[in-house]
């Protein structure tokens, strides 16, 4: 699942497997396999990164994911 933000600021969580296409013209438009389309604030590059992270979580073992999340939690205060 990936979190996206609609143009009105509302947060929405999508199943990454349902995303069929992402376009930028200039707003980012996500087309789902159901035929539904969503305009979001995230850029195409941001969505690609979120999808890569989503796929990685699906493919990696739970132990590796736990270590990655712990690392991200520790690194987060350094970014603020």
pLDDT in tens, 52-67: 999 888 887 666 667 6
Identify the pLDDT of residue 77.
54
* Residues above pLDDT 70, as percent of the chain: 78
Q: Tokens in use for 11?
A: 């947060």
Domain residue limits at 62: 2-79
Burial class (CB in 10 A: 0-12, 13-18, 19+), 25: exposed
Number of domains observed in the structure of the chain: 1
Q: Is the pLDDT of residue 18 over 60?
A: yes
The model carries a pTM of 0.72
Give the integer Cα–Cα distance in Å for 59 and 24: 28
- Shortest CA distance to 22 belongs to which of 7, 33, 11, 10? 33
């Amino acid at each position: 699942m990936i979190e996206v933000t609609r143009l009105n600021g509302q947060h929405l969580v999508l199943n990454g497997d349902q995303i069929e296409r992402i376009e930028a013209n200039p707003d980012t438009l996500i087309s789902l396999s159901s035929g539904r389309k969503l305009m979001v604030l995230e850029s195409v590059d941001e969505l690609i990164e979120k999808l890569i992270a989503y796929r990685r979580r699906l493919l990696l073992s739970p132990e590796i994911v736990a270590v990655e999340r712990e690392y991200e939690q520790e690194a987060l205060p350094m970014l603020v």
